[in-house]
Amino acid sequence: MATTSIPVLVRRLRSSAGVRAVEAAKELAGRSYTSAADSSAIIDAGGLPVLLQHLTSSHSSAYLREMAVIILSGLASPDSNAAIAAAGTIPVLVQYLRSTRRRIGQAAAFAVLCSVAKGSPERKAAIAAAGAVPVLIQLLDSDNSKDMQAAAAELLRTLTDSSPASSAAITAAGAIPMIVQHLSSSALPAKSPA
């Protein structure tokens, strides 16, 4: 399919929550990772509000919400992070992390939030203000997989970098010892059998 079909896919995603929307979401997910031009075309076609619509709609299936986060993950880049944040994505993704147990969706949400946070103390503060710190601490301190715990620790670490507001929120929540413990335990070499 040519890039010109992206507006059609975005319209399909906007107008439905059924099979056609799922098919459009799958195609857009693939395209979001293909090239910067495709990612820009998705954003230019109004894709961000449509993705947020599915993430917040009770009419969208869990699978379609997960696909929306995956598409956002493909769109996240230094060139598009400001637009992603300006669209209101941060609180929606924090709520998604709070409410889902779908690991692929969680990983994609972590990727988007890490990308959006990098290089912007304001966006880091917005992530903390959206309530991400308690959610990340809960994910770090739970029986989630090591990968999910590592992603939560990485996002917490990213939030502390050059962002006094985020650092203060993380410190106030008592997360520093947990982050240090996680980073220390994940940095230890595996024991060899005796």
Number of domains in the chain: 1
d(CA 105, CA 62): 10
Establish if 187 belongs to a structural domain.
Answer: no
Give the tens place of pLDDT for each residue, 88-131: 999 999 999 999 888 899 999 999 999 999 989 899 989 999 99
CB 96 within 8 Å of CB 61? no
Tell me the longest C-alpha to C-alpha distance in the chain: 61
- Residues contacting 58, CB < 8 A, separation 6+: none
CB 107 within 8 Å of CB 147? yes
Q: pTM for the whole thing?
A: 0.86
Q: Which bin fits 60, alpha (ψ -120 to 50), beta or left (φ > 0)?
A: beta
Establish if 44 belongs to a structural domain.
Answer: yes
Q: Which domain, by its residues, includes 86?
A: 6-182
